[in-house]
């Protein structure tokens, strides 16, 4: 397939190419999965292969993890698929057009993170980033108050956005100071993690475990210490009335599934870190990952947010409070 890459017809030609790829890939993915869905790993593999030779970004390498392994970097890679797609107000389908929040929702859905539909709600997802100097690829940049526009930061003062009617999805300068910057992919600084563990009042030996697991699984600094404090008060031999065991209060069945001994602090911390990392990636939000640790990921999915259980809601507030997050 040949796509014009210069001149006034470039965007239209690119859109036609993308539509052709999407149409052909839908059938390929459906045959691979036995469904009519055009999302998921089958779609990604077919889409990446089909894009080779179209002049699109990276071709099949888009889905090989070459652009980074954290959620934000993968979302940037996913968003680049849609470069050249026309802006359509209310658009959520790249075959016909995308608006700003449709692009953001679609790109993050492609990497397994569910976001609300509109920009104002997306601008409350994840955790706050103080300013553009601290922004990382994949952070959401929201504009205006109330929020009416949103984009995905790609680094170096650039963002991917679906800007306005008559335009297309493109990389452009961050043209003004965002009113909010939100991060969905967890990041960590090991020194900060150790400091956060100390601030929590955790014993020195546990601080080392928390810092190592925080670095290993790329978790927010202080999260493991906050969860352990809420769960057991750092008591490595604690057993609850429900049967949860050890420092991280893992149920026996959960511990078996993780392949850890809940009464061994190092194993318990590693197992808890894996669970939190998984749910941060799944839900893209610190409060939802903490809620899943208490009530289970199934309950978070079922209610589409923090479950309406008094215990879970209090637990989330307590853990976030230990982290200094409102």
Q: Which residues are catalytic?
A: 231
CA distance 225 to 34: 44
CA distance 169 to 95: 13
- Count of alpha carbons within 13 angstroms of residue 7, beta-carbon side: 4
**3-class SS letters over 292-308:** HHHHCHHHHHHHCCCCC
- Measured CA angle at 77 (ends 11, 98), to 5 deg: 45
CA distance 223 to 289: 11
Point out which residues pair with 153 in neighbouring strands: 159
CA distance 283 to 264: 28
CA distance 319 to 222: 10
Helix (H, G, I), strand (E, B) or coil at 58: coil
36 φ, ψ (degrees, to nearest 5): -100, 5
CA distance 103 to 87: 9
Burial class (CB in 10 A: 0-12, 13-18, 19+), 224: buried
């Amino acid at each position: 397939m040949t796509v014009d890459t210069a001149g006034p017809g470039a965007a239209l030609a690119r859109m036609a190419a993308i539509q052709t790829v999407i149409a052909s890939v839908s059938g390929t993915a459906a045959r691979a999965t036995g469904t009519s869905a055009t999302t998921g790993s089958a779609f990604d593999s077919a889409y990446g292969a089909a894009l080779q030779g179209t002049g699109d970004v990276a071709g099949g390498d888009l889905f090989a993890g070459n652009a980074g392994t954290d959620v934000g970097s993968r979302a940037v890679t996913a968003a680049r698929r849609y470069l050249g797609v026309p802006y359509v107000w209310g658009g959520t389908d790249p075959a016909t057009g995308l608006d700003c929040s449709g692009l953001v929702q679609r790109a993050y859905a492609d990497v397994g993170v569910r976001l609300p539909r509109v920009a104002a709600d997306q601008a409350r997802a994840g955790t706050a980033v103080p300013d553009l100097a601290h922004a990382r690829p994949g952070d959401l940049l929201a504009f205006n108050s109330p929020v009416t526009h949103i984009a995905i930061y790609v680094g170096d003062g650039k963002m991917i956005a679906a800007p306005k009617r008559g335009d297309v999805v493109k990389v452009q300068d961050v043209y003004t100071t965002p009113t909010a910057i939100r991060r969905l992919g967890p990041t960590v600084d090991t020194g900060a993690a150790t400091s956060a563990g100390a601030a929590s009042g955790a014993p020195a030996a546990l601080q080392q475990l928390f810092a190592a697991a925080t670095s290993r699984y790329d978790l927010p600094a202080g999260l493991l210490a906050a969860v352990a404090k809420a769960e057991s008060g750092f008591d490595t031999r604690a057993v609850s009335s429900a049967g949860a065991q050890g420092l991280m209060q893992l149920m026996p069945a959960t511990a078996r599934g993780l392949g850890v001994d809940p009464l061994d602090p190092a194993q318990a911390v590693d197992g808890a870190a894996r669970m939190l990392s998984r749910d941060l990636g799944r839900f893209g939000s610190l409060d939802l990952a903490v809620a899943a640790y208490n009530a289970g990921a199934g309950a978070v999915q079922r209610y589409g947010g923090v479950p309406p259980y008094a215990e879970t809601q209090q637990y989330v507030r307590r853990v976030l409070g230990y982290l200094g997050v409102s």
